Amino acid sequence: MNLAIRDVRHNLGRFGLTALGIGLLLMIVMGMGGIYQGIVEDATLLVDELDADLWLVQAETRGPFAEVSRLAPTLEDRALAVPGVVSARRFATHTIQREHGGRQMRLVVVGLAWPQDRGEWLPLASGRRLAQARFEFVADESLGLSVGEKLRLGRDVYTVTGVTRHMIGTGGDGLAFFTVRDAQTIQFELSPEAIRFERESRRARAQDLDLGLTQPALLERAGRPVETLPAIGPAMVSAVLVDLGPGADGDAVRATFEGWPDVSTYTSDEQRSLLLEGPVDRARRQIGLFRALLVLISALVMALILYTLTLDKLHDIAMLKLIGARDRVILGLVLQEAFLLGAIGYVIAYVVGMQVYPFFPRRVIITNEMLIWLAGAVAVLCLIGSILGIWKAMRVQPNEVLS
């Protein structure tokens, strides 16, 4: 006869409510782990999906995900000239916040190197990839945009051609994929007045430079659109992504790039590590700490509940001892209830969590490893939480029945 099951059955309402409370607490512990995993995956998503062999970024910087990185667009052609390189793609990214449909919308603008990269690798939920060089983009579903919807950014209107799923930036904002040219326009577009000021400034700068004095044609071109002036225009791309050919000597190619004074070179793994150690690190540590505190609180709550459940049965335990019950019978009663509480709480945490997590503002990713870890943690919590109750139960004397 299982005494624990019978006790639970007898106190079903109370036990159920307690299990629900434990379950909700465990759901938060599980959710914190899922948020942590989501942050890591969101942070490394682009690096993983772009899958470049080397990242060329502004010299002495850690790349566009860690800080501002500005490179001249001509770097793409220079990189292509290096033996072993089969492709070089311009890459631009920056975050903007605009009002759309009466709400504030933050989106991470990602510039893809048209026409080499049309977003073939994007996980589309609906619509299509980029099909033209200008005024189209693919948006993540978290932005709330649908295929065919138009979005005004600056003076231009862009049309959503496709919707991705789970393409989130480091800060939790949805990604929007444009061509690099559109991304640059969105980033650097100035008001007409600012453009006139910039042209005048550019002419003034060119006149003061030897370059301007020795090459008068440059002065003439200083007033043209900025993207036609790579020499004196601002650097417009965040990075250049380099792919190596089969059999290429990666170390040699990298050594070549590292000889260039205007770039720093990273592999995808290094970019990934920089992301995890950089912008994500503090959030990761904070969530880790919060999670550890939640586990501690769960342990205390479970210990208190199990202790109280045991206290309620002290007279019965004394009676069982009086009629000669072995310690293992008493131990089994307390432990089995603890594990039952933990198991039911765990199931509640999983079931409720799966319904609730999609509504969290940040992505919550629950992996099998995480579920196994939590199951182990719950088992340990049950064991630790039972210690106080077991200690109390073992101290009960059978003569307490007589009192």
Partner 1 sequence: MNAPSDHPAIETRGLTKIYGSGNTEVRALRDVTFTLNRGEVVALLGPSGSGKSTLLGIVGLINAPTRGEVMLDGTPVYRDARALVDVRRYRRERIGFVFQKSNLIPFLSARENVQVALEIAGASGRNARRRSMELLETLGLSDRAHHLPRALSGGQQQRVAIARALANRPSLMLADEPTAALDSERGRQVMGLFRDLGHQQGAGVLVVTHDHRALDVFDRVLEMEDGLLRDATVSDLTAGATNVGGSQPGEA
Decide if 319 contacts 401 (C-beta within 8 A): yes
DSSP code per residue over 56-107: EEETTS--TTTS---B-TTHHHHHHTSTTEEEEEEEEEEEEEEEETTEEEEE
Nearer to partner 1, 6 or 205 (CB): 6
357 DSSP 8-state letter: G
Residue 38, helix vs strand vs coil: helix
| Core vs surface per residue 171-180: b (16+ CB within 10 A) or e | ebbbbbbbbb
Least CB distance to partner 1 at residue 22 (A): 21
Least distance in angstroms from the C-beta of 324 to partner 1: 2
**Whole-angstrom distance, CA of residue 215 vs CA of residue 210:** 8
Taking the least distance from each CB to partner 1, the nearer of 196 and 326 is 326
Query: Where do runs of H (alpha helix) occur along 82-191?
Result: 180-188
Task: Report the distance separating Cα 60 and Cα 173, nearest Å.
Answer: 27
CA gap 317, 335 in Å, rounded: 14
Nearer to partner 1, 183 or 338 (CB): 338
What is the nearest approach in angstroms of partner 1 to the Cβ of residue 295? 31
Which residues contact partner 1 by CB under 8 A?
1, 3, 6-7, 9-11, 315-316, 319-326, 329, 397-399, 401-402
CB 129 within 8 A of CB 147: no
**Start-to-end C-alpha separation, the chain:** 28
**Closest CB to partner 1 among residues 131, 329:** 329
- Considering just the CA atoms, what is the radius of gyration of the chain in Å? 31
Q: In whole angstroms, how close is the CB of 327 to partner 1 at the nearest point?
A: 9
Q: Which helix (H) or strand (E) holds 389?
A: helix 368-395
Smallest gap from residue 389 Cβ to partner 1 (A): 16
Q: Which is nearer to partner 1, 112 or 320 (CB)?
A: 320
Q: Identify the three-state secondary structure at position 341.
A: helix
Min. distance of Cβ 316 from partner 1 in angstroms? Answer: 5
Least CB distance from residue 347 to partner 1, whole Å? 23
In the complex with partner 1, which residue's Cβ is closer, 3 or 105?
3
Contacts of 169 (CB under 8 A, 6+ apart): 42, 46, 95, 108, 175
Q: Which one, 298 or 310, has the nearer CB to partner 1? A: 310
How near is the Cβ of 315 to partner 1 at its closest, in Å?
A: 8
Q: Given the complex with partner 1, which of 8 and 46 has the nearer CB atom?
A: 8
Whether 1 and 330 have beta carbons less than 8 Å apart is answered as no
Residue 162, beta-bridge partner list: 127, 138
Q: Which is nearer to partner 1, 128 or 315 (CB)?
A: 315
Q: Sort strands 124-127 and 150-153 into parallel, antiparallel or unpaired.
A: unpaired
Q: Reduce the DSSP state of residue 401 to 3 states and report it.
A: helix
CB of 399 to partner 1, least distance (A): 5
Q: Which amino acid is at 281?
A: D
